[in-house]
Structure 1
Amino acid sequence: MLLSEDYKKPKFEIFKDSKGQFRFRLIAKNGEIIAQSEGYDTKQGCENGIQSVKENAPIAVIVDLTNGRIKGTVLVSQKVPGTSLNKRSLTLKG
């Protein structure tokens, strides 16, 4: 059950598109759609996609394809699965 204060928080919405595929969108606290997924055949696949975004977004860098530069600060506060990274910070300047 959503409480009234939950409507003002960022959230993921799962929905079915016109072709019957499951998709998710990330809604900002101001109500704007800020990201939308590809289509998934199953709801579980869609939920896995949401989990992947939650895990990967905090450590993602910005790749600017308009000038070929990578920039941003990556803060790793825990072990990153599949890597040896642990509690490190890396700053990339483009």
Structure 2
Amino acid sequence: MSHVCHNVVGLLKFSLLALLLINSSNAACVPLFGACVQSLECCNHPDIICRANVCFKPIAAVRGVENRITEYLEYQVRLSNLRESMKANTSRFK
């Protein structure tokens, strides 16, 4: 019985080591459910995104809401930049 247990444990160790090496290799991109920092690291980006340091594929409804939020935030940044440039131009004429 112990011989079988040692083989199972050895097989499990080998499998985990192989999985670790595959996930931690210097690949061009991070696989699905792999650790990431930015979405650009994930394979098949933009379909696969990085959230909470994990590459995953969001459902379509979330993707639509996320796109709208991103567009709104970009709009707010452009608006803020416009306000700052208008303030700078106004202060030069005083």
Structure with the larger strand share: 1
Structure with higher helix content: 2
| TM-score, length basis structure 1 | 0.26
Larger Rg: 2
